[in-house]
Amino acid sequence: MKALIIDDEKKARHLIRILLTENCPEITSIDEAEDLEMGVQMIKEQQPDIVFLDIEMPKYTGLQILEFFEPNEVTFEIIFVTAYNEYAVEAFKLTATDYLLKPVDKKELIHAVYKAKKQIEKSTASNKIQEIKFFFEQLALNKIALEIPKGILFVSHEDILFFEADGMYTNVFIKGKEPQLICKPIKHFAMQLEGKSVFYKPHRSYLVNLKHLKELSKNNGFYLIMENNKRIPLSIEKKEEFLQLVSDIF
């Protein structure tokens, strides 16, 4: 982890550096800044994990640090270091990891670094989860998750021929594969794919992928013939709508 010490007193910076070097091996890099403006610039350039921040400094106090950053830029943990304990409440309002009084106690410093490390690990794990969630959201744009006995089958929308209701279950017909019986009603898939115009519900028991439609049959009623030659009924209430769509487009 990288650390930055912001303090206008050189001796104070030196003491914290020594304590960190001798007692916190997880800190692999230590930099120093003598005022808040310099410290802010170094934070933006070097991206430290922990900032040891004095409060009483010329021009700007340590409590003003968040005025220099957008919320999404605060990726570092703050440990305030000051000789005045009356600032503690204000410090923690800024979501500080810890608050150390001068002269800094070795054990308290070690504990503060430990707390910061745990917070960083937690934040990293949370960010990783968000990245994975984003990946799955992108995956869901083109694929559907089918819960099968052996696990979860991720199938491209392109490869789905149609869904067929079977009571409270649904048979999913997939191009080049055996049908899969899924323990969810067809309504579940109709709602999930509602925004996908390629899927059409010609009958209350079917949801078809129009890309795999081969023929409209008028033999003994209206039927949609799919690429696998499955005859899917076109319900009376959907007949006019479907024929109108075909007429408008073709």
CA 167, 225, 239, 158 dihedral sign is positive
CA-only gyration radius of the chain, Å = 32
pLDDT tier at 220, thresholds 50, 70, 90: confident
CA 107 to chain centre: 36
Answer for the pair 49, 26: CB distance below 8 angstroms, yes or no.
no
CATH code: domain 2-138 is: 3.40.50.2300
> Which of 126, 103, 68 lies closest to 51 in space, CA to CA?
68
CATH of 143-249, one of 2.40.50.1020, 3.40.718.10, 1.10.1040.10, 2.60.130.10: 2.40.50.1020
pLDDT given for residue 227 in this prediction? 94
Domains 2-138 and 143-249 share a fold: no
Instruction: Residue 58: count other Cβ atoms within 10 Å of its Cβ.
Output: 9
Identify the bridge partners of residue 156 per DSSP, sorted by sequence position. 143
Instruction: Quote the CA–CA distance of 74 and 13 in Å, as a whole number.
Output: 22
pLDDT surpasses 60 at 89 = no
Which stretch of 185-189, 236-240, 245-249 has the lowest confidence by average pLDDT? 245-249
Q: For residue 79, give both structure tokens.
A: 């440990």
Interacting residues of 217 by C-beta distance below 8 A, sequence separation 6+: 223, 224, 225, 231
Amino acid, single-letter form, for residue 163: F
The mean pLDDT of 88-109, rounded to a whole number, is 79
The residue ranges of every structural domain in the chain are 2-138, 143-249
Question: The whole model's pTM is what?
Answer: 0.54
Instruction: Quote the CA–CA distance of 192 and 211 in Å, as a whole number.
Output: 18
Place of tokens 């799955």: 136
